[in-house]
């Protein structure tokens, strides 16, 4: 190994910077486009902005840092998928199933998640400004440090959800959400909906 490469490796190790290559499988991308069925696919870093993927089956897929900006994923199955760092800005995921998915650091500004299943999802530090979560199932979801300003939460089920340090300014209809054993941003527990 030459000196420059050794120096770079040492730099990343000492600084703790994650130097992870993001590359997707071209075969998996073609499989998704042709059949809308690609469970356990590797689409990390793929750009599917504007794609029409209603009803797509992507359960347990690797979508790390993928781009689905303005994509249509109505009724899609994304259960237990790795969606960390994903761009779902302005996408339509009405009725999609994202239960158990990893959405850490996900970007979801003005995303439509009406009636979506987000039970048990990890939304730590996710950006959800003005996102529509009306009627969404967020039971046992982790929203620690999430940015929820201007988000719609009418009839959303936040039973056992964690909102520690979440930003809730200008949230719409939080008083109409189901709050039961819900850990609020100030770490208090709200049982008003039990």
Instruction: Find the radius of gyration of the CA atoms of the chain.
Output: 18
In order along its 194 residues, the chain shows pLDDT tens digits of: 455 444 444 444 443 444 444 566 788 778 888 899 999 999 999 999 999 999 999 999 999 999 999 999 999 999 999 999 999 999 999 999 999 999 999 999 999 999 999 999 999 999 999 999 999 999 999 999 999 999 999 999 999 999 999 999 888 888 899 999 999 999 999 999 99
Which superfamily, per CATH, for 22-188? Answer: E3 ubiquitin-protein ligase SopA (2.160.20.80)
* Interatomic CA distance for residues 47 and 51, integer angstroms: 9
Tracing tokens 């120096």 back to the chain, one arrives at 7
Domain extents in the chain: 22-188
- 172-183 burial, b at 16+ Cβ within 10 Å, e below that, comes to bebeebbbbbbb
The Cα-based distances of 179 to 108, 132, 154, 156 in angstroms read: 22, 17, 11, 9
Are the CB atoms for 94 and 73 separated by under 8 Å? no
- 142-171 burial, b at 16+ Cβ within 10 Å, e below that, comes to bbbbbbbbbbbbbebbbbbbbbeebbbeeb
């Amino acid at each position: 190994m030459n000196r420059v490469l050794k120096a770079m490796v040492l730099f990343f190790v000492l600084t703790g910077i994650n130097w992870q290559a993001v590359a997707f499988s071209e075969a998996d991308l073609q499989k998704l486009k042709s059949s809308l069925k690609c469970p356990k696919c590797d689409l990390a870093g793929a750009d599917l902005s504007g794609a029409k993927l209603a009803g797509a089956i992507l359960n347990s897929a690797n979508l790390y840092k993928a781009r689905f900006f303005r994509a249509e994923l109505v009724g899609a199955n994304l259960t237990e998928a790795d969606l960390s760092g994903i761009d779902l800005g302005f996408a339509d995921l009405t009725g999609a199933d994202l239960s158990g998915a990893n959405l850490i650091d996900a970007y979801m500004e003005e995303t439509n998640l009406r009636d979506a299943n987000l039970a048990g999802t990890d939304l730590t530090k996710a950006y959800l400004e003005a996102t529509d979560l009306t009627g969404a199932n967020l039971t046992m979801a982790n929203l620690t440090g999430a940015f929820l300003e201007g988000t719609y939460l009418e009839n959303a089920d936040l039973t056992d959800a964690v909102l520690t340090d979440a930003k809730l300014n200008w949230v719409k209809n939080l008083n109409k959400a189901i709050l039961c054993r819900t850990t609020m941003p100030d770490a208090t527990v709200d049982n008003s909906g039990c």
